[in-house]
Chains A and B, each alone.
Chain A
Amino acid sequence: MGDPAVQTENVRVTLGTRQVLRDVSLQAQYGQITAVLGPNGAGKTTLLKAVAGLLPYEGRIEIAGQDLRSLHRSDRVQLLAYVPQVSLLASPFRVEHVVQQARYSLQTARHRHHASIEHAMDVVDVAHLRKRSFTQLSGGEQRRVLLARALATEARLILLDEPTASLDIRHALSFYELLRELTASGYCIMAVLHRLDDAARFTDRAILLKDGRLTHQGVTADIISAEPIREVYGVEADETTTLSFRLPD
């Protein structure tokens, strides 16, 4: 097995005077979806931003075996892509222009840019929206366009912060299906999720955070079980409710 997509050792992040992450050591592999779970304020988004290289940190973070600190901006873009929970993009750019932004710092031939952009739009199924204004799309369509932009970087590690938070159940299911297809083709998806039932159904591995500390990590089925959930969230598992949905065949 090659290098893990993400490996952190004793990562600490301090924002102002508050230590938001304390000695977090974890691994995320290519070909898997890793859920980042924990109650509000546990440090999930901070962890994702630190891995994306957007926050100063202590400790060590490796992306595909390379020290994150040693990576130049354009090298980092080729290794990882980050999609925040809420994009501030509110400009009437055409969809294809938004996806093209993925190639901003990448110095490759024009035909390579074009091929990456077209491929990303095809994979995420937004090619038919290319001439539409980003601001006129639905929330679900906007999420897909931002994922297409992440894929157009050709990075194999995609960091998603609550990717289905604003989506209805149909769009959310379809988004998870898309993420499964991506991991099947070798991507590593690391996603902050709030809904434990979604994490249980769609992710391979999970890490649990509480008060900035990593309390559990492993196969999702082991992590989302009565004991860790009680310890981290302070709630009891209720096995009498099993209501769940799927996309039609």
Chain B
Amino acid sequence: MSATRLHVALVLAVIVAGALALFTGAASLGDENLRATLLQLRGARLLAAFLAGAALSVGGVAVQGLFRNPLASPSILGTTAGANLGGQIALVAVSSLSGATAAHMTEMVLPIGSLLGALVALGILLVFLRAGVDLLTLLLTGFILSSLFLSVGSFLTSMAQESWELGRTMVAWSLGSVSGTGPRQVLFAMPLVVAGTVAIWGWGHALDVMLSGEEEAASLGVDVKATRRWVVVWVAVLTGAAVSLGGGVAFVGLIVPHALRPIVGAEHRRLVPTSALLGGAFLIACDALGRVLPGRSEIPLGIVTGLIGAPLFLWLLLRMQREAYDG
């Protein structure tokens, strides 16, 4: 498939998924009294899902390139868990306020908390980077940071159970959802996602060369330290923005680049825009699906992506192994 056709197909996929998402939900757009409000709410939600999906997918492309490992994802750097923890701390901080102020503050403080969480996780990681550690040590550091942040987050969630409302919000946040994402959050995250996507595209050639290993890349003139540092920074920005929009959403950063590589190849400048489009369409569709699946209420987005993503990833993995075996 040519690049142009693929891009057209992916844009169409985003439009179709978006249209489905606008018309899907408990309330009908046929009700004239509700139509404007529903369109506004679902529009913000649709944009949030698209941006979160795009950010996580582009982050996945970057991390997989940096670690030369197609099984890597932004979560392995510890930034996803850091962003999650930042959001949880923000929720706890805002819970002391009451009524409309709390609702208003949550919308603003949540993305800031997520970003700060991602940046703190990144800051710790950069200390290790400055010490000149290899990628394996970096990987293990990310894993340890993730465990630490998840433990602190779980501790906060258990403490929050004393307040029913806060406990419920904390659990919903950790499950991942764009249902309560407002226009302010979307406006806050949008420039970060766009900047992160463009930046990773810009580092695309360097990431291509880095796939030969750091020594070969350095011998071909790549500034390996700068590439590592800036790619990590932009992955943190993308992850922080995505988490601020949708909480903990699993598997998107893993499966989207995986699914596209056999079609577009391994070149980063081709993978970045296509992954952004497919990741966005995928998350919009997952969010719409969560609204139509039978249940007492909507199925959280993180559960839908996990239910679809895990088996899909296993299938892709089996296909990859079979292709490697067949030569």
Contact = CB atoms under 8 A, between A and B. Distances in A.
Are A and B physically bound partners?
yes
A153 interface: yes
B308 to A, nearest CB: 26
B215 A49 contact: yes
Contact of B213 (A49, A88, A104, A149): A88
A184 to B, nearest CB: 25
B205 interface: yes
A92 B261 CA distance: 9
A174 interface: no
Contacts of A91: 68, 211, 266
A90 interface: yes
A49 B216 CA distance: 10
A136 B266 CA distance: 14
Given A73-B221, A93-B266, A104-B221, A88 B208 contact: no
A92 B221 contact: no
A84 B215 CA distance: 8
Given A92-B266, A93-B265, A52 B209 contact: no
A136 B327 contact: yes
A93 B265 CA distance: 7
Interface string B241-266: 00000000000000000000100011
Contacts of A82: 215-216, 219
B227 to A, nearest CB: 11
Contact of B219 (A74, A81, A89, A94): A81
B205 A104 contact: yes
A105 B213 contact: no
Interface in A71-110: 73-74, 76-77, 81-82, 84, 87-94, 97, 101-102, 104-106
Interface in B180-230: 205-206, 208-209, 211-213, 215-216, 218-223
Among B221, B222, B223, chain A packs the most CB atoms within 10 A around the CB of B221
Contact of B209 (A76, A90, A104): A104
A104 to B, nearest CB: 5
Nearest to B219: A82
Nearest to A55: B215
A82 B222 CA distance: 13
Interface centre among A74, A90, A94 (most CB of B within 10 A): A90
A226 interface: no
Contact of A77 (B215, B220, B261): B220
A130 B27 CA distance: 56
B208 A93 contact: yes
Contact of B265 (A92, A101, A104): A92
Contacts of A87: 212-213, 216
Given A88-B68, A104-B205, A104-B206, A74 B221 contact: yes
Contact of B216 (A84, A105, A136): A84
A105 B222 contact: yes
Contacts of B68: 88, 90-91
A196 interface: no
Contacts of A84: 213, 215-216
Contacts of A49: 215
Interface of B: 68, 205-206, 208-209, 211-213, 215-216, 218-223, 261, 265-267, 327
Given A73-B222, A89-B212, A92-B266, 12 more contacts: A54-B215, A73-B221, A89-B216, A90-B68, A90-B211, A92-B265, A93-B266, A94-B265, A104-B220, A104-B222, A106-B221, A136-B327
Interface of A: 49, 52-54, 73-74, 76-77, 81-82, 84, 87-94, 97, 101-102, 104-106, 136, 149, 153
